[in-house]
Structure 1
Amino acid sequence: MQLFKCTHCGQLLYFENHHCEKCGYPLGFEPEKLKLVPLVPVHDAVFEIYENGPETYRYCDNHQHGVCNWLVPTDSPSAYCKACELNRTVPDLSNPDYVARWQTLEFAKHRLVYALLRMKLPLISKFQDPDKGLAFDFLANPTEEGAPRVLTGHADGLITINIEEADDLEREMARKNMDEAYRTVLGHFRHEVGHYYWDRLIADDGRQEAFRALFGDEQADYGEALEKHYETGPPDHWQEEYISAYATTHPWEDWAETWAHYLHIVDTLETAYSFGMSVSPIVADEADDSLEADMDRDPYRLKKFDGLINRWLPLTFAMNSLNRSMGHHDLYPFVIPPKVVEKLAFVHDVCKEVKREARETSKVAP
């Protein structure tokens, strides 16, 4: 995530801010410009961007619930922003606990959508394209005794998230029960949208053979693979080829886990780049520069994956060391073996190719 600044007073801002703490100006995120901007009221909940011309905007309709600060052009036929128009089902808003959980989910989903927009990946709602669009259901477990729990997952472009995942205690209990090293709300979104983009970028675009060479044959029975995983666990020495134990389940899950980690890398490196960070351990051997890195390039603009991974590994060592100093577990509890680097590079190359194709198509469009 990039670092934002109020262009009225210079105050640094968080992505989720609704108003500037210093000057009090209302703030809104403009998804075309990918900027968090101060707003000047015009009339009847209509705003102009401070010192930015005559275009007018209104807040997304979900702003009233405190879950969205994104802007919609006043001439847009939709009441919702690019992120919220992906919602198919939201929790019962008469339940304050559900609203609080929905806010946590929306904060994570908006960060996800920001990354997808920066990557210039195809992003369209199922309301616009029922066959290839994307949609979200945010559901609570049913209250009826014996009714099945809501399962977080993806099917044909519909991502279902159990709002229980927004509860820190429930999520931590699930993490321990599933013997997972890492489990976050944003991580869920990144993983599940990885399944969606497997359909769009791999299956639809004819990249299956290249995919299978690295991840395996996705035609293997998914149900059987899942059942085997939960019965016997991951294979021995799985750390040599997979980013997580769950990635061993099936090639689709390997892709989704790898995809999620790619988004972890790019988004965190953008934050480090925005802060002008560098890593240079003062006790390191002068001949060993493997833990040194300057976050001097926007990761979304790096053409080769080497530029990402060579910055990422020193940064994660520093982040984990800082967390340990605070008495916490490692912020990034993963090891990236060479085989996983290959898989991450494949994700990177696919995304860059799709971005290039989109750019070329826009140049020839009438």
Structure 2
Amino acid sequence: MRVFNCDHCGHLVFFDSVQCLHCGSTLAFVPELLAMAALAPAPQDGPDLWRRMGERGSADYSGRLYRMCGNHTAYDACNFAVPANDFSPLCASCRQTRVLPDLSEPANLGRWKQIESAKRQLFYTLARLGLEPAPGRAGPVFEFLADWPGGPTILTGHHGGTITLNVAEADDGERAQRRVALGEPYRTLIGHLRHESGHFYWDQLVRDGHCLEAFRSLFGDERQDYASALSAHYGKGNDLGDWRQHHVSSYAASHPWEDWAETWAHYLHMVDLLETAASYQTSVTVPDPNAAQRYQVTDPFANPRPSFDDMVRQWVPLTLMLNSLNRSLGQNDAYPFALSSGAMGKLRFVHDLVQAPAG
């Protein structure tokens, strides 16, 4: 995720900012422009309308008028803008959420806000990759549900284009408990959403993209029984075999579908982190008494886009530095993975598949 600048005063702002702390301008993210915008009230054009401000406070008379997302107005839960002539009161991200938990429960309201924030981050990365919004193709639908006494357990997953997430995952304690119980080194809201979006885009890009045979030669045959494969995976306990030679995680070894989804999530991790580092013009020098190596991080969305090999050359030292910084603060590794050549080959497959429509 890149950082942004207020287009009124130029001060540094962030993807989730709602006000510039330097000039006080109201900020909103404009999805169709993939940019943060400083907005000025435009009551002369209609109630609750805003116009984008130009440099040094001059109005932008391009005709672009916006409303704030309905979830911002009602719940202070979104910072995306909606074009004034859009039919929906919700922004491009929020309208994908079709089912919500009971928001009269304060805990659920807080959980939902956190999940929507992670979903907007996913929306941004997919949009940068040219995958979201998808012209002529429906995007994923989201259902955020809570467990209730006597009801069925809500499982996080994907089915038929719908991504379901148990809102309990927004509770740090609950998520940590599940991470330990399942033996996972990494479990976050954005990680969940990236993984489940992988299942959605497997249908779009692999199944319907006429590259099933290439997928099967690398990931395996997805037609093997899914329920049995997962049952066998969880029945192994700590004896998961040498999965590191070919997979990005132990869960990826359970079934080809999960291998793809875990690899897809890792590719989104890579793209997002590289973009963030590049926006800060980061260079990393790996210490070596004989010949230190320096790497300048390149924006993965630069024109021309860097090759996959260039991205990996920058990714490895960047994650080493990131983990070292975390350890300096007494935190666990932010990226607790070491990717093998087998896993890298699968990441390259995802990269080539994603870059094809972009090209």
Partner of 2:300: 299
Q: Which amino acid aligns with 2:72?
A: H
Partner of 1:284: 288
Please report how far the alpha carbon of residue 94 of structure 1 lies from its aligned counterpart in structure 2 after TM superposition. Answer: 1.0
Q: Which amino acid aligns with 2:181?
A: N
The answer to whether the 8 Å contact 1:123/1:134 transfers is no
Please list every run of at least 4 consecutive aligned residues from structure 1 whose deviation after the TM superposition is greater than 4 angstroms.
none
The answer to whether the 8 Å contact 1:124/1:134 transfers is no
Identify if the C-alpha distance between structure 1 residues 122 and 27 changes in structure 2 by more than 3 Å, giving closer, same or farther.
closer
Identify if the C-alpha distance between structure 1 residues 124 and 351 changes in structure 2 by more than 3 Å, giving closer, same or farther.
closer
Give CA-to-partner distance per residue, 1:166-205, whole Å, 9 cap, x none.
0101000010000100000000000000000000000011
Partner of 1:355: 358
Please report how far the alpha carbon of residue 345 of structure 1 lies from its aligned counterpart in structure 2 after TM superposition. Answer: 0.5
Match of 1:250 among 234, 255, 267: 255
Q: Which amino acid aligns with 2:331?
A: H
Matched, 1:265 2:270: yes
Partner of 1:56: 65
SS in 2 for 1:316: helix
SS in 2 for 1:160: strand
Partner of 1:218: 222
Match of 2:192 among 188, 191, 204: 188
Please report how far the alpha carbon of residue 288 of structure 1 lies from its aligned counterpart in structure 2 after TM superposition. Answer: 5.4
Matched, 1:324 2:333: no
Partner of 1:33: 33
Q: Which amino acid aligns with 2:67?
A: R
The answer to whether the 8 Å contact 2:97/2:141 transfers is yes
Structure 2: 5+ residue runs without aligned partners? 55-59
SS in 2 for 1:22: coil
SS in 2 for 1:344: helix
Partner of 1:136: 142
Separation in 1, partners of 2:71, 2:10: 27
Give CA-to-partner distance per residue, 1:287-342, whole Å, 9 cap, x none.
353xx3101x2112425210111100000000011111111111110001001110
Pairwise CA RMSD:
1.5
Partner of 1:202: 206
Residues 20-99 of structure 1: pairs in structure 2 closer than 5 A: 20-43=20-43, 44-51=47-54, 52-53=60-61, 54-64=63-73, 65-99=75-109
SS in 2 for 1:218: coil
Q: Which amino acid aligns with 1:294?
A: Q
TM-score by length of 2: 0.93
The answer to whether the 8 Å contact 2:285/2:292 transfers is no
Separation in 2, partners of 1:269, 1:58: 32
Partner of 1:360: none
Separation in 2, partners of 1:285, 1:161: 48
Separation in 2, partners of 1:272, 1:28: 23
Separation in 2, partners of 1:287, 1:277: 20
Separation in 1, partners of 2:291, 2:22: 46
Length, aligned pairs only: 346
Separation in 2, partners of 1:87, 1:72: 16
Partner of 2:317: 314
Deviates more, 1:106-115 or 1:4-13: 4-13
Identify if the C-alpha distance between structure 1 residues 134 and 124 changes in structure 2 by more than 3 Å, giving closer, same or farther.
farther
SS in 1 for 2:231: helix
SS in 2 for 1:91: coil
Please report how far the alpha carbon of residue 237 of structure 1 lies from its aligned counterpart in structure 2 after TM superposition. Answer: 1.2
SS in 2 for 1:331: coil
